[in-house]
């Protein structure tokens, strides 16, 4: 696709969004805000990532379109508020790419990915005027989902030697946290919240120690659960049985059966 067509396609998307948000447009789209679309934004990015992992280009094309839609719509909302416009967003990221890649657009040299990252950090501080990070953990975005953030925080700490000596020590910590959760009275929600968090954090540590991405493992587990639960639902429907606690033993039997499929 040539440059002219790319420009036309993006302009057409912008005009479509303007029509949806205009008086007399779509009531649902008109009442949305950046806040109301935040969870959808995260979900669409995850769906795009799933399509990448599945190597499904047709699905990826659709999901990337959904991401473009939300990026453009949120930017247009800010344009309507008079904060900035869509062109500011595009110009800003283009200028940042050029500024942070002087080895491509200037006379700097960076011969390896590590050189690029070091140069990138130097530009942030000395060219863009950003304050240096006070802690290596400050480099981990607070906007990450909790599971991914825990994983990255642990990896950062491990890089400077703050890590368990071996995997057995991590397993011991997991069992310690399980015991602590079990010792908390169910009514003590604040303490329970803290201890369950500690348990989840220690499980993420196990995943990291075993070179497993916990988010990827969780996605795989969710898919497996959905597949097996759907099997139970369909079998219960075939036998005209209700999905309720009275039929738990039957559902549990079907669940075990689904594992063999």
Closest among 208, 118, 141, 216 to 170, alpha carbons compared: 208
Q: Give me the residue label for tokens 């998307």.
A: 13
Structure tokens at 240: 């005209």
What pLDDT digit, counting tens, does each position of 16-42 carry? 999 999 999 999 999 999 999 998 998
* 133-159 average pLDDT score: 91
* 201-220 average pLDDT score: 94
Mean of all residue pLDDT scores within the chain: 93
Rg (CA), the chain: 25
Q: What is the pLDDT of residue 10?
A: 94
Count Cα atoms within 13 angstroms, Cβ side, for 162.
8
* 169-185 average pLDDT score: 97
CA distance 158 to 212: 15
| Contact (CB, 8 A) for 110 and 103 | yes
What pLDDT digit, counting tens, does each position of 221-246 carry? 999 999 999 999 999 999 999 999 99
Using a 10 angstrom Cβ sphere, with 0-12 exposed, 13-18 middle and 19 or more buried, the burial of residue 44 is: buried
Top pLDDT among 138 and 26 is at: 26
| Contact (CB, 8 A) for 52 and 60 | yes
Domains detected in the chain: 3-93 (1.10.287.1080), 100-132 (no CATH), 138-212 (1.10.287.1080), 216-258 (no CATH)
* 97-117 average pLDDT score: 93
Burial per residue of 27-41, b for 16 or more beta-carbon CB atoms within 10 angstroms, e otherwise: eeeeebeeeebeeeb
Distance of CA 165 to the CA centre of its chain: 30
């Amino acid at each position: 696709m040539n440059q002219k067509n790319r420009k036309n396609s993006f302009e057409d998307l912008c005009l479509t969004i303007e029509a949806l948000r205009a008086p007399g447009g779509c009531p649902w789209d008109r009442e949305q805000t950046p806040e109301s679309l935040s969870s959808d934004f995260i979900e669409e990015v995850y769906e795009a990532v799933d399509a990448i992992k599945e190597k499904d280009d047709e699905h990826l094309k659709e999901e990337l379109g959904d991401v473009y839609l939300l990026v453009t719509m949120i930017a247009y909302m800010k344009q309507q508020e008079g904060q900035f416009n869509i062109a500011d967003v595009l110009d800003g990221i283009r200028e940042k790419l050029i500024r942070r890649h002087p080895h491509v657009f200037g006379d700097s040299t960076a011969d390896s990915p590590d050189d690029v990252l070091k140069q990138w950090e130097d530009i942030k501080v000395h060219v863009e005027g950003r304050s240096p990070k006070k802690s290596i953990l400050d480099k981990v975005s607070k906007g990450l989902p909790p599971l991914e953030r825990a994983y990255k925080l642990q990896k950062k700490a491990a890089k400077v030697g703050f890590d368990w000596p071996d995997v057995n020590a991590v397993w011991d910590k997991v069992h310690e946290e399980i015991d602590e959760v079990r010792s908390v009275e169910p009514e003590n929600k604040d303490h329970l919240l803290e201890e369950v968090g500690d348990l989840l954090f220690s499980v993420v540590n196990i995943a990291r120690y075993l070179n497993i991405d916990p988010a990827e493992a969780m996605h795989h587990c969710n898919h497996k659960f959905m597949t097996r639960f759907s099997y139970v639902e369909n079998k219960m429907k075939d036998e005209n049985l209700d999905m309720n606690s009275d039929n738990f033993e039957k559902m549990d039997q079907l669940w075990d059966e689904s594992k063999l499929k």
